[in-house]
Structure 1
Amino acid sequence: MREATEAIVARAPEHDIDPTLVRVERLLEVLGDPQRSYPIIHVTGTNGKTSTARMIEALLVDLGLPTGRFTSPHLHDIRERIVLSGEPVSAHRFLATFADVMPFVDLVDARGAQDGTGRLSFFEVLVAMAYAAFADAPVETAVVEVGLGGAWDATNVGDGAVAVIGPVALDHERYLGSSLEEIAAEKAGIMKPGSIVVSAEQDPAVAEIVLARAGEVGAPVVVDGDGIEVLSREVAVGGQMLSLRGLAGDYHDLFLPLHGEHQAHNALLALAAVEAHVGGGEQALDLDTVRTAFAAVTSPGRLEVVRTSPTVLVDAAHNPAGAQALVAALADSFTLGRTVGLVACMADKDAEGILEVLEPAFDEVVVTRTTSPRAMPVAELAEAAEAVFGDHRVTVAPELPDALDRAAELADAGGVVGGVVATGSVFTAAEVRMLLGQGEA
């Protein structure tokens, strides 16, 4: 397993984007185009993609449909990215798929060396493995999360029967564009002729682009707040109680064990996507099935409680929009008393923008770094934090284990029962989970 993982990881990393589908299309063609073997629900957006995909999967599995799910990045184990009916692909199946795919990868790499299109990337190989594993299983529906953007994302070699577009905000500007309009155009690229589009409520500029693209491909669009909506939500122990209006009916008394209003809206998109997929949006789902599915949903690393006394939460927010959702959910769902942030970001992210959003929610902040080679240097992050929080509210701890210990001490200082919120990247959430014995996702 380790050798296979290392062989894949040795390729160009997933954040190093070359905007072309040529290589992955070639690979899938020689594999027999497995992505044509089943309908796809394709999920994009700036934040919330993984949670939404996991909710869609839960609904489909409880409806009795063999389902494949592809999400990224993983928290702990690469097999988390390729999931069959709710369970990560086994090590045996992962290795078998790797063995089946790699000879064809070598062929495509050789052709790329000849014509200048280059080698397949880490992400492209994983996408092909996922599509192949789903065809081999076989699955009746694949739930596929975009890696980055949409139009040029490797997953877009599949044609989504349903396209889900979560909230669009600024992120990955180096690759997707520096404006909401440019980013929206990339994400809208997953819409295909004849698909049904389910969209979050968007900024007007984004909504205009989504609707224009849908018109070009002849795809009907349903939007959160216009035909589908969150009718009500109440904070509950361990999550929230929801009533949702879907495409084909109202669904009351749904318990969702995830925190924050944003997760209620992710649940709405998931519900509408499954209604669109199963009955064209004209047939309501069984209420008890929806209740059972949502009650069992998990989304590790997304405002997740990983320890008590003091409370330690991890959240994968890695851009200002994600930080805004985190801050709103903390105010909505938690009473932590003294709240200490533990923040580590990637070097290519808007750390100052993230910290500015987080500042009102944190009494103090401990800045550190993860083991990722992309991690922002601690001194650079500390400078940004001191500019936002002031020197007296910032503690610097170069090593994450020490930072976690220091944050816990600060949270309990003065006899106040406090909490620690570890955030800034997926790596931050994953490594804190590991340190606290939560090594599975």
Structure 2
Amino acid sequence: MYLIGIKGIKYLLKLLGNPHNNYHTVHVGGTNGKGSTAAMINSILIKSGYKTGLFTSPYLEKFPERIKINNEEISRDEITSFIKKIIYKIEELSLTGFEKPTTFEIITTMCFDFFAKQNIDIGVMEVGLGGRFDATNVITPSVSVITPISFDHTNVLGNTIEEITYEKSGIIKKDGTTVVAPQNREADEMIQRICKDRSNNLYRVNEDIKFQLKGSSLSGTVFDVQGLENNYNDLKIKLIGEHQVINAAVAIGAIETLSMKGFHITKESIKTGLYETYWPGRMEIISKDPKILIDVAHNVHSMKILKNTIQNHMKYDNLILVLGVLRDKNYPKMVKEIVPIANTVITVEPDSNRALKVEDLVEEVKKYNCNCIIGKDIEKAIKKALEIANEKDLICFAGSIYLAGKVRSRILRK
């Protein structure tokens, strides 16, 4: 359905009274850091007193996480009520000649409808896949945001950075406003060209918005930002990793463009909102005895960031890496990036029908590390990692959100 376009969901929303037109929106696309950036913008807006909706995908542990208002998840009753209503609308849609909507289109429609029903002030919408033909791209946002672009979903978006950037840039609207993270040259040039063609006001981190890292540890990161309107000193976020400073600078840029358009947002709200941003599963330490780190790193770029963070900030005797990936990812390069720093690798299949078989993963892992154990089942992999870990070792679960979420649920529940 992705390649067909968004006419179907537009018609479906029309049948519901176009709920997505009832509030302001921020549209967040890109490859890496979309969720973290959206969470920061959401937190700042809530601290500023706005009733704020947040739509993200996929979920980490449970479905209702995807749709929140002021950080409160949509209820099961609301989901059930929407499903009963949408069944008849889907039948009506089918009679017009459109194909039945995809699961993601239905979920996105539910989000729009729920936000309108709850009379939110503004919704922060994370793109599901790509941008140009994504179901979220029916909105006319107050600001579009593009986080760092890298290779991912190449089977759908294209095999070059230029092709991927073109799809991601589909959320850039005519006469709109866009804030972008630092990009490689090809992506940056294309975004600038598209914004110029669409008379879109473009603000770029490292050009119009600048930041300076002042300190980083496992307890958080301290930095300064020179924004579009103000300077912000000694900002702190609790999310681990220097890359989160880029996400924060992008979030501040987006927030300041909202301020330019009449939103009342103070420097204190920005500072507090950033500090209180909570986004689980992203370089999250979920246990200290033994030390267990989970991360949703699922492509080469994010795996490189994970490797650098472990090497620069983690102290341990041995690294036990529990790795599970999806077969449609560039897993050979992901493995090459992360596996050499591990003392032991336990392979596992994420909870997804797109999971790469452990036998295929083991074959790739053994090119760089012969100390490889087949865990296959997530429960068994957790048990094995805990068995072989000493108190000064680090256990890291990575490779897919479908792995990180299951591990988080099982370990924290225990």
TM beyond 0.5: yes
Q: In structure 2, which of residues 385, 389, 407 is the aligned counterpart of residue 432 of structure 1? A: 407
How far is 1:237 from its partner?
5.0
Distance in 2, matches of 1:168 and 1:258, equals 20
1:149-196 deviations in Å (ceiling 9; x for gaps): 000101001112201000000000000000000000000110111221
What SS does the aligned partner of 2:212 have? strand
Distance in 1, matches of 2:368 and 2:341, equals 13
Kindly provide the amino acid, as one letter, of the partner of residue 139 in structure 1: I
Distance in 1, matches of 2:4 and 2:129, equals 11
Q: Residue in 2 aligned with 1:3?
A: none
Are the counterparts in 2 of residues 163 and 190 from structure 1 also a CA contact under 8 Å? yes
Would you say 1:305 and 2:292 are equivalent positions? no
Q: Equivalences for 1:309-388 in 2 at 5 Å?
A: 309-388=289-368
Are the counterparts in 2 of residues 56 and 270 from structure 1 also a CA contact under 8 Å? yes
Kindly provide the amino acid, as one letter, of the partner of residue 353 in structure 1: K
Would you say 1:205 and 2:186 are equivalent positions? yes
Q: Which moved more, 1:368-377 or 1:283-292?
A: 283-292
Q: Which moved more, 1:169-178 or 1:325-334?
A: 325-334
Would you say 1:411 and 2:389 are equivalent positions? yes
Q: Residue in 2 aligned with 1:43?
A: 28
How far is 1:300 from its partner?
1.0
Q: In structure 2, which of residues 35, 49, 56 is the aligned counterpart of residue 71 of structure 1? A: 56
Q: Residue in 1 aligned with 2:196?
A: 215
How far is 1:350 from its partner?
1.4
How far is 1:257 from its partner?
0.7
1:202-244 deviations in Å (ceiling 9; x for gaps): 1100011101110111111111111212222312452112222
How far is 1:411 from its partner?
3.4
Are the counterparts in 2 of residues 105 and 125 from structure 1 also a CA contact under 8 Å? no
Distance in 2, matches of 1:308 and 1:17, equals 42
Q: In structure 1, which of residues 401, 406, 412 is the aligned counterpart of residue 379 of structure 2? A: 401
1:68-105 deviations in Å (ceiling 9; x for gaps): 11100011221111111121112222223333333212
Q: In structure 1, which of residues 126, 142, 148 is the aligned counterpart of residue 123 of structure 2? A: 142
Q: Cα gap change, 1:20/1:410 in structure 2, threshold over 3 Å: closer, same or farther?
A: same
What SS does the aligned partner of 2:13 have? helix
How far is 1:107 from its partner?
1.5
Would you say 1:254 and 2:239 are equivalent positions? no
Q: Cα gap change, 1:19/1:171 in structure 2, threshold over 3 Å: closer, same or farther?
A: farther
Q: Residue in 1 aligned with 2:106?
A: 125
Q: Residue in 1 aligned with 2:90?
A: 105
What SS does the aligned partner of 2:367 have? helix
Kindly provide the amino acid, as one letter, of the partner of residue 249 in structure 2: L
Q: Cα gap change, 1:228/1:284 in structure 2, threshold over 3 Å: closer, same or farther?
A: farther
Q: Equivalences for 1:208-287 in 2 at 5 Å?
A: 208-280=189-261, 285-287=265-267
Q: Which moved more, 1:172-181 or 1:284-293?
A: 284-293
Are the counterparts in 2 of residues 260 and 332 from structure 1 also a CA contact under 8 Å? no
Q: Which moved more, 1:234-243 or 1:203-212?
A: 234-243
Q: What CA RMSD, in Å, does the superposition of the two structures yield over aligned residues?
A: 1.8
Would you say 1:423 and 2:398 are equivalent positions? yes
Are the counterparts in 2 of residues 233 and 264 from structure 1 also a CA contact under 8 Å? no
Q: Residue in 2 aligned with 1:166?
A: 147
Kindly provide the amino acid, as one letter, of the partner of residue 202 in structure 2: V
Aligned residue pairs total 414
Distance in 2, matches of 1:90 and 1:430, equals 20
Q: Residue in 1 aligned with 2:77?
A: 92
TM-score in terms of structure 2 length: 0.96
Are the counterparts in 2 of residues 161 and 194 from structure 1 also a CA contact under 8 Å? no
Kindly provide the amino acid, as one letter, of the partner of residue 240 in structure 2: H
| Structure 2: unaligned runs, 5 residues or longer | none
TM-score in terms of structure 1 length: 0.90
What SS does the aligned partner of 2:298 have? coil
Kindly provide the amino acid, as one letter, of the partner of residue 379 in structure 2: P
How far is 1:279 from its partner?
2.2
Are the counterparts in 2 of residues 249 and 284 from structure 1 also a CA contact under 8 Å? no
Distance in 2, matches of 1:68 and 1:190, equals 19
Distance in 1, matches of 2:347 and 2:365, equals 8
Are the counterparts in 1 of residues 237 and 277 from structure 2 also a CA contact under 8 Å? yes
Distance in 2, matches of 1:91 and 1:257, equals 30
Distance in 1, matches of 2:265 and 2:163, equals 36
Are the counterparts in 2 of residues 369 and 399 from structure 1 also a CA contact under 8 Å? yes
Are the counterparts in 1 of residues 297 and 306 from structure 2 also a CA contact under 8 Å? yes
Distance in 2, matches of 1:101 and 1:278, equals 36
Q: Residue in 2 aligned with 1:153?
A: 134
Distance in 1, matches of 2:312 and 2:47, equals 29
Q: Which moved more, 1:189-198 or 1:369-378?
A: 369-378
Are the counterparts in 2 of residues 97 and 129 from structure 1 also a CA contact under 8 Å? yes
Distance in 1, matches of 2:344 and 2:291, equals 15
Are the counterparts in 2 of residues 367 and 382 from structure 1 also a CA contact under 8 Å? yes
Distance in 1, matches of 2:49 and 2:298, equals 35
Distance in 2, matches of 1:230 and 1:358, equals 28
Are the counterparts in 1 of residues 213 and 245 from structure 2 also a CA contact under 8 Å? no
Are the counterparts in 2 of residues 44 and 146 from structure 1 also a CA contact under 8 Å? yes
Are the counterparts in 2 of residues 19 and 153 from structure 1 also a CA contact under 8 Å? no
Distance in 1, matches of 2:42 and 2:100, equals 32
How far is 1:326 from its partner?
1.1
Distance in 2, matches of 1:198 and 1:38, equals 20
